[in-house]
Amino acid sequence: MNLSFFDQFSSPSLLGIPLILISMLFPALLLPSPGNRWVTNRLSTLQLWFINLITKQLMMPLHKKGHKWALILTSLMVFLLLINLLGLLPYTFTPTTQLSMNLALAFPLWLATLLTGLRNQPSASLGHLLPEGTPTPLIPALIMIETTSLLIRPLALGVRLTANLTAGHLLIQLISTATMALFSTMPAVSLLALLVLLLLTILEVAVAMIQAYVFVLLLSLYLQENI
């Protein structure tokens, strides 16, 4: 029984070929394709309004120099948002429950922000490792602590996204299994569990949206430190 709960997190395959790439590229089909007209339909208008809203929220705390990252950060936000929400549908696979994928997204972008800071303002970037006014005996320890906290940022980004989505999927499966098992013996308890399942599903929709936003927002804050 315990193994079946975690089967939903294993990468699907067909004839030995992993299908995770298809599940990652499928959300792109939901995006509007460019056309000759300014406004095509209400759905495209709503999607463009939502993308503009995301871009404004992400670029607001950034310096003007960081606005060149708007396309990367907005695309990542929409990509994570669609994958997280589509993963809540029945009989689907959520690629963002894989720690390897989240680290593959977090590490290169974090490294790009770090290298941007080292190239543009090396003194200020290295100055973050040692706060001003630090007593001399504490300098080696603080440098080690700040360096560790800096290097652990991409790991924290990937683990946070993976842990939140994995925990939500497990809770949904556990409560749905209990609802079906108790339906024949204790219908009242089963209906109560069904109500909890509906509320948890609404919560997971919110968590899927918030985690995508937090992932990209933290990357934008790391970028702000280095520009």
pLDDT tens readout for residues 175-218:
888 888 888 888 888 889 889 989 999 999 999 999 999 999 99
**Neighbour-count burial of 216, counting CB atoms closer than 10 A to its CB (0-12 exposed, 13-18 middle, 19+ buried):** buried
Read off the pLDDT of each residue in 152-164 and give the average, rounded to a whole number: 92
Read off the pLDDT of each residue in 58-80 and give the average, rounded to a whole number: 86
Dist. CA 217–CA 139, nearest whole Å: 31
Dist. CA 222–CA 113, nearest whole Å: 7
| pLDDT of 16 over the 70 cut | no
Answering whether pTM is above 0.95, one says: no
| CA 85 to chain centroid | 11
Q: Which comes out higher in pLDDT, residue 45 or 115?
A: 115
| pLDDT of 150 over the 50 cut | yes
Instruction: Give the per-residue pLDDT at 46.
Output: 81
pLDDT band at 4 (very low <50, low <70, confident <90, very high): low
| pLDDT of 160 over the 90 cut | yes
> Helix (H, G, I), strand (E, B), or coil: what is residue 17?
strand
Q: Which comes out higher in pLDDT, residue 26 or 221?
A: 221
Of 150, 175, 165, whose CA–CA distance to 215 is shortest?
Answer: 165
User: Percent of the chain, pLDDT > 70?
Assistant: 86
What ranges do the domains of the chain cover?
Answer: 24-226
Task: Mark out the alpha helices in the chain (DSSP H runs).
Answer: 2-6, 20-25, 42-59, 70-86, 99-120, 122-127, 139-151, 153-182, 187-225
pLDDT band at 99 (very low <50, low <70, confident <90, very high): confident
- Per the DSSP assignment, residues forming a β-bridge with 18 are 13
Count CA atoms within 13 Å of residue 87 on its CB side. Answer: 31
pLDDT band at 1 (very low <50, low <70, confident <90, very high): very low
- Give me the helix-helix angle, 70-86 and 187-225, nearest 10°: 170
> Which tokens in the block code for residue 164?
């939140």
Read off the pLDDT of each residue in 159-185 and give the average, rounded to a whole number: 87
